[in-house]
Amino acid sequence: MRVMLSVPLKVQGLSESGEEFTVRTHSHTVSLHGASLQLETGLVLGEILLIENEISGEKIEGKVVAIRRSRDGKTYVGVEFTTSHTNFWHMAFPSSGAKPLRRQVGSRVAAALS
């Protein structure tokens, strides 16, 4: 499951021209296993990036698995973490196939709506 979450990140890697780069960006969507990041640096599929969560200071490696350009011209890079034994985002994600929770309307609220 993916969740929209903006976390400040520092990303390091090699550009498609082979030059080292370090950029600051934010996550666009996140999952337990990776994220979508807005990056303007030219990358290639399979490239390994070092991603640092600037809030927690934690670092993790991510493999570039998708590159797409949005209609507004921004480039989003999908990364999959190379390690699956961490909760990099410090979030609880629902299990696969879980149904969304529904809140029951309290009797006072229901009466007020009538």
Domain count within the chain: 1
pTM attached to this predicted model: 0.77
Please report whether residue 106 resides in a domain. no
- Structural domain including 84 reads 3-93
**Interatomic CA distance for residues 89 and 113, integer angstroms:** 38
Note whether residue 32 is domain-resident.
Answer: yes
How far apart are the C-alpha atoms of 114 and 112, rounded to whole Å?
6
102 within domain boundaries = no
Mean pLDDT score of the chain, rounded to an integer? 85
In this structure, what CATH number is given to the domain that contains residue 71?
2.40.10.220
Q: Does residue 63 fall inside a structural domain?
A: yes
Residue with tokens 């979450």: 5
What is the Cα–Cα distance from 72 to 54, expressed in whole angstroms?
27
Q: Other C-beta atoms within 10 Å of 24: how many?
A: 10
Residue 109 lies in a domain: no
Does 60 map to a domain? Answer: yes
Residue 104 in domain: no
Q: What percent of the chain has pLDDT over 70?
A: 82
Neighbour-count burial of 28, counting CB atoms closer than 10 A to its CB (0-12 exposed, 13-18 middle, 19+ buried): buried
| C-beta separation of 54 from 10 below 8 A | yes
- Taking the C-alpha atoms of residue 31 and residue 88, their distance in angstroms, rounded to an integer, is 9
Whole-number Å distance between alpha carbons of 61 and 13? 10
Per-residue pLDDT tens over the stretch 31-61 = 989 999 999 888 999 999 999 999 999 999 9
